[in-house]
Amino acid sequence: MKALAKTAAGPGIELTEVPTPEAGDGQVLIRVLRTGICGTDLHIDSWDDWAARTVRAPLVLGHEFVGEVAAIGPGVKDVRVGDTVSGEGHLVCGKCRNCMAGRRHLCIRTIGLGVHTDGAFAEYVVLPETNVWVHRHEIDLDVAAIFDPFGNAVHTALSFPVLNEDVLITGAGPIGMMAAAIARHAGARNVVITDVSPYRLDLARKLGATVALDVSSSGVAEVMPGLAMSEGFDVGMEMSGRADALQDMIATMSPGGRIAVLGLPTGEVPVDMATVVTRMLTLRGIYGREMYETWYGMSVLLQSGLDISPVITHRFGYEQYDQAFATARSGNCGKIVIDWTRPVTD
């Protein structure tokens, strides 16, 4: 089968032929229809320090996808051939304390699809039945392809109640933009999102942000008077991984404010603990999705009218992967979807 793979240690990926996997005991073989490009895939492609430490070539990339079940292995009970499915890309051990307690998103032995084991940038992928999410209602395939990052946004945006609250989101990447849409849908009074990319700030406005602020020219505190805010933001969502963004967020939170942190910094982040303590702020780390409460929430949000489709800005056929990755790396985009049913788009 065709697959996008890291064939050797070093920069670059290539479209190559690899053996088609088979479904073993408790496993599901999925014909891939669409995939989304994640920042993790860009790191692996460029072969930065993290990728060199983490990835072992050869490896098929990709963990954001939607597909159709092609075959099931012995013991599979609840997934049927022909089902439209997405996949939870965190493969857990099922035996550690957190897994046994139903907190699988906290598994200490988590393995990443497309990072530690062959992924979904291919014509077929195999997953355990326990990692397969069946779409029980009609859904756009492009949206279903990005359920993984959509789940990150849902997990972050709904970590704390946002109804009637003033929300600050730092980082208008695709997950930040989806979080803005979720917060507005869930009843936030104001949603302020920050970035330095005019393209992404404009897209964030279309997805529901009350204010999309270019922090290269204006400070976060400057928008508060115009929004009738006097004490600070109630809920923060840090998506950028930047130290200055978290620091600005802490400085503009109201007493008792709550911050969900999804962005991964590349270095140490000095935190003003005096402000955290005296304002009694809560900081909560977010990683991945809760299995499978977040997935249920994603489906219900879409059924109740949430529209995240504007975050998908570019579509490519699988032979156009170079162009797709270059567009994703440029930042002048939202989510990028690769169509595995055709080599090039029209």
What CATH number corresponds to the domain at position 248?
A: 3.40.50.720
pLDDT (mean) for 130-150:
97
274 has pLDDT over 80: yes
**31 domain residue, yes or no:** yes
Same structural domain for residues 74 and 36?
A: yes
Mean pLDDT of 33-44: 96
pLDDT classification of 267: cutoffs 50, 70, 90: confident
Q: Among residues 35, 40, 84, 252, which one is catalytic?
A: 40
Contact indicator for 39, 149 with CB cutoff of 8 Å: no
Answer whether residue 234 shows pLDDT above 90.
Answer: yes
User: Is residue 4 a known part of a binding site?
Assistant: no
- Is 175 annotated in a binding site? The answer is yes
pLDDT (0 to 100) of residue 346: 76
The predicted pLDDT at position 127 comes to: 98
Interior angle at CA 204, CA 312 and CA 134, nearest 5: 40
Share of the chain above pLDDT 70, in %: 100
Asked if residue 316 is part of any domain, the answer here is yes
pLDDT at 44: 97
> Was 333 annotated as part of a binding site?
no
Largest Cα separation within the chain, whole Å, is 62
138 and 158 fall within a common domain: no
- CA-wise closest residue to 54 among 64, 38, 40, 65: 40
Q: What is the mean pLDDT of the chain?
A: 96
299: tokens are 């489906």
Model confidence pLDDT, tens digit, residues 93-107: 999 999 999 999 999
Active-site residue (options: 7, 16, 20, 43): 43
Q: Is 286 annotated as a binding residue?
A: yes
User: CA-to-CA distance for 218 and 67, rounded, in angstroms?
Assistant: 43
Residues 47 and 136 in one domain: yes
- Residue 197's pLDDT is what? 95
48 with 181, same domain: the answer is no
Q: DSSP secondary-structure letter at 56?
A: -
Whole-angstrom CA distances from 196 to 64, 173, 193, 238, 256 are 26, 11, 10, 15, 28
Q: Does one domain contain both 135 and 178?
A: no
What is the pLDDT at residue 48?
94
Q: Domain check: are 128 and 11 in the same one?
A: yes
Mean pLDDT for the stretch of residues 194-211: 96
Q: Is residue 344 part of a domain?
A: no
Structural domain contains residue 303:
no
Pair 227, 321 in one domain: no
Q: Is 64 annotated as a binding residue?
A: yes
Residue 314 annotated among the catalytic residues of the structure: no
| Each residue's pLDDT tens digit, 145-183 | 999 999 999 999 999 999 999 999 999 999 999 999 999
What is the torsion angle, in degrees rounded to the nearest 10, for the CA atoms of residue 150, residue 75, residue 80 and residue 120? 40
What is the Cα–Cα distance from 203 to 206, expressed in whole angstroms?
5
Structural domain includes residue 177:
yes
**Domain assignment present for 346:** no
| Residue 195 is labelled as binding a ligand | yes
Residue 261 falls within a domain, yes or no?
A: yes
Does 200 count as an annotated binding residue?
A: yes
Question: How far is residue 301's CA from residue 191's CA, in Å, rounded to a whole number?
Answer: 18
Residue 243 reports pLDDT greater than 80: yes
Tally of structural domains, the chain: 2
Q: Are residues 115 and 175 in the same domain?
A: no
Q: Quick one: what percent of the chain has pLDDT higher than 90? A: 98
Active site residue 155: no
Does some domain include residue 86? yes
Residue 309, both tokens: 């489709």
Whether residues 130 and 251 fall in one domain: no
CATH code (residue 92): 3.90.180.10
Same domain? For 35 and 118 the reply is: yes
- Indicate whether 159 and 274 sit together in one domain: yes
For 63-184, strand residue ranges (E) read 64-72, 84-87, 90-91, 111-112, 124-128, 132-134, 166-170
- For 253, the domain range is 154-285
96 is annotated as contributing to ligand binding:
yes
Same domain, 53 and 171: no
